[in-house]
Structure 1
Amino acid sequence: METRIIEHNKPEEDISSAILIEASPTPGVAGIIACNYLIENFGGKKIAEIISPYFPQISLINDDGIATLPKIEIHIVTIGNQKLLILMRNFPIDSNEGSQIIAKKIYEYLDSKGIRSLFIFASGRVSDDRSIYVSSTRIDNINHLLLSGAKPAPSLDSLPVDRLTGFLMMFFAINRKDVYLMLADTPSYLPDPLAAKRMLEVFAKSLQLNVDLSKLDEEIEKHRRTVEEMERGLLGIEAERQRRTPSKEPFYIG
């Protein structure tokens, strides 16, 4: 078995003006939530998938309870006059050799289609203020994102992405193509639809895309209730622990 790309529903039209979005599997999975939303609500169509022996040797369970092997999919979404290619996966790859081989194969495929812009949708804990941070290979590239509500990303000791995403960014950058990292601040590792919505708001505004995000509000409310229930549960456990713990050392009379 070798790393290869299988095309499905090959686009007949020119897609060289499309923007590539990679949903990076990071804490809060805001990028994955955001990209799933675009695919599900704007008629996304799978055009290719990548298979590789370097993928984790595990089975993934989908929403229908069906086990599937890991794979990377590329979907095309059209919003107004803007085409988006969305690179989807829900597993990290940490092997240096495997990540480089897979990223190179993906880059060569996208390069053959004329794709020149890469957005990385990621999330993680940065400042606890729910901001969307952005950086790029060229600082003047991010002005439209800053005007749309993003903030310049702080200096990071390391990129909050795995090796596959890092290599993909490198291949775009060394070939003088535009690379943007959008990082949604999220307070925990739990799936965070609010971070996904804020990221999409900035992205859509910067490209002047008409995107209705109201369907995310239900997921945001579910997330809020889940967090509150977890907090109540933790408070209950702590209260019970304190109740069972003596307030002072036992006093013995000999």
Structure 2
Amino acid sequence: MHTTIEPGILYFGTPVVLISTVNADGSFNLAPMSSAFWLGWRCMLGLAAGSKTPQNMRRTGECVLNLPSVDLVAAVDRLALTTGSDPVPAMKLRKGYRHEPDKFALAGLTATSSETVAAPRVRQCPVQLEARVEAVHGIADDDALLKGHIQCIEVRVQRVHVDGAILMDGAQDRIDPDKWRPLIMSFQQFYGLGPRLDDSRLATIPEAAYRSPDVDRARKAPALVNAVAG
């Protein structure tokens, strides 16, 4: 029997993303989030508009989406309740956040150079997606209290780096979902994926059928000379 409820959040479960960006002073910021979804080589990121990460993304027009596996849960959790903003925004202060200038050191993660953006990749993450900001969409702009506070940032991926251990045997450009174990956030708790339940009829469609023009655009992205150690 179903019952009608009014939960404070509806985070039913999405992958954790560590977004790396460049601060105005040239230092790096690293922020965990989980309100993300992908379509082709585009990703939509739901973020609080006043946070440091979306501020950096709007200013620089770029970021790296680093996807941690389940074995990085402790590193991700060390970033919880921290912000690159100084002073800490009032809303975050009320929730117990504190300013942290070096997120990489706090988490015990390593910044390594990207190929097409100035923002660094996280070496330990099995998946690293260099991306450009393509659009910023307002969320809940119909509500006077919420308007301007939440944004959905659309990014276009232009370089995909993956650990060879999660590639499908005999397929250079396919990730094996039986090998890839992303860290999942569900109602503010960490989870991982279990084994495959059954074969999907959708899987009979070749992945190449979903290929978008963004793949060809990504090949033309100019390489940068970066000085990030690692």
TM-score by length of 2: 0.26
Could you say which structure has the higher helix fraction? 1
Instruction: Normalising by structure 1, report the TM-score.
Output: 0.25
